Amino acid sequence: MPAERSPGQFDSPHFRSVAGTRFTDVEWHDEIGSTNTELLDRARQGAPEGTVLIADLQTAGRGRRGRRWTAPPGTSLMMSVLLRPPPERLPPARAALVTLAVGLAAVDACEQVSGVRPRLKWPNDLVIAGGADHDAASHDSPRYNRKLAGILAESISTQGLLSALVVGMGLNTGWPEVPAELEGAATSLNLESGAPVDRPLLARLVLEGLDARYEFLLQSGDGAVAVLDEARRNSATLGRRVRVSLDRTTGAPAADGHSLEGVASDLDAEGRLLVCDDAGITHTVSVGDVVHVRPALDTTRRE
């Protein structure tokens, strides 16, 4: 468990690099439009791998599919990293594994800093979930699957090869309370732990954990297997009944309401979700909005 800190105690100092990792250029901003947008622009101008942007306030933050991400100043860890994986070691089809690596690094870092261990909700969220046994009673709890963080990965390709990957994360760390409209749907690390969260320490631990897992992904053979196995163990989605909204041509939510429902059974070698429908057919989902369906006791309630 982390050492207790009294309310109002200062965070650890900002750092400019993380020793022993590729993250040698860490910038802190009081305010920025979007850390992902800024870092993508810099990537196009030749910024090196390992550049990191962290902001107290984003005025144009984005989530998946262009959704806005907003948070009051200093209440969330908003961070983006630039990676340039060698195409022969991490082809574009496996880029989604980096999102899993970021999520797993954040899971460990949250536990180290606060004692609270979130779980991964496919494809890109951290949630505070119910019991690890996925029993029906925990599923039916109003405190099940409250969103703690979202991750957004965006890439730049050159002649069909991945030349840059920017992965951003917004992780709630210092909310005074959960807004009424988000009650039961979102939370913050300080509210879960009952103590202030040291954001610079959390950021450093995320980067250390990401660097180690990214090295695994760049290895041939068992490296990616290790990350996938860790993702399975920390998943809030696998073993759950899910409803996935699909658009097979654009990846956006389907206008005709097309969806797939079944049990999330596994992740494949590229990090895609395998869903077994009620006819016993397994579908591979590379993109889609996932809803964890509550037990049949009340099928109108969703997370």
| Mean pLDDT, rounded, for 104-116 | 98
Query: b/e string for 275-285 if b means 16 or more Cβ within 10 A?
Result: beeeeeeeeeb
Residue 182: band (very low, low, confident or very high) from pLDDT cuts 50, 70, 90: confident
pLDDT tens per residue, range 36-63: 999 999 999 999 999 999 999 988 765 5
- The answer to whether domain 241-298 has CATH 3.30.300.90 is no
pTM score, two decimals?
0.86
Residue 143: band (very low, low, confident or very high) from pLDDT cuts 50, 70, 90: low
113: left (phi > 0), else alpha (psi -120 to 50), else beta? alpha
Break the chain into its structural domains and give their ranges.
25-233, 241-298
| Mean pLDDT, rounded, for 65-92 | 82
- C-beta atoms surrounding 115 within 10 Å: 14
pLDDT tens per residue, range 248-301: 544 444 444 578 999 999 999 999 999 999 999 999 999 888 999 875 443 344
Residue 130: band (very low, low, confident or very high) from pLDDT cuts 50, 70, 90: low
* Amino acid 144: pLDDT: 64
- Rounded Cα gap, residues 192 and 147, in angstroms: 12
* Amino acid 152: pLDDT: 95
> Encoding tokens for residue 27?
């910038």
> Encoding tokens for residue 182?
């988000």
The answer to whether 49 and 82 are in contact (CB under 8 A) is yes
User: Could you say which architecture CATH assigns to the domain 25-233?
Assistant: 2-Layer Sandwich (3.30)
* Amino acid 70: pLDDT: 57
